[in-house]
Chains A and B, each alone.
Chain A
Amino acid sequence: MEHLSLASPAGIVLSLDAVLILLLALACLGSKLFDRYLTYYGLQSMLLAVAAGTAAYVEREPALWVLAGLTLVLKGVAIPEAARRLLVRRLQLKRDVVTIVGPSTSLILGAILAGFAYLVIGPQHLAQGLISASIIPISTAVILIGALAMVLRRHMVAQLLGWLIMENGVFLGGITLTASFPFIVEAGIFFDVVACFLIMLAMTTGLAESLVALSDRGRREPT
Chain B
Amino acid sequence: MVWLLLGCLLNVAIALLLSPLYEGLLRKMRAAIHSRVGPPVTQPYWDLLKLLGKEDLRSGGGMAYAALPALTLASVLLLATLTPMGAAAPLAFAGDMIVVLYVAGMSAVLIMLSGMTSGSPYGSVGSSREMMMALSVEPALAVSLAVGALKAGTLALGGMVDFQAQNGPSVSMSIAGLAFFLALQAQSGKLPFDIAEADQELMGGPLVEQSGPRLALFRWALWAKQLVLAFLLVEVFLPWPRLGIPVVDLLASGLKVLGVLLLVALIDVVNPRLRIDQAMGYFMRVGLASVSALAFAVIGR
Q: Do A and B come from one complex?
A: no
B residues near A (Cβ < 8 Å) are none
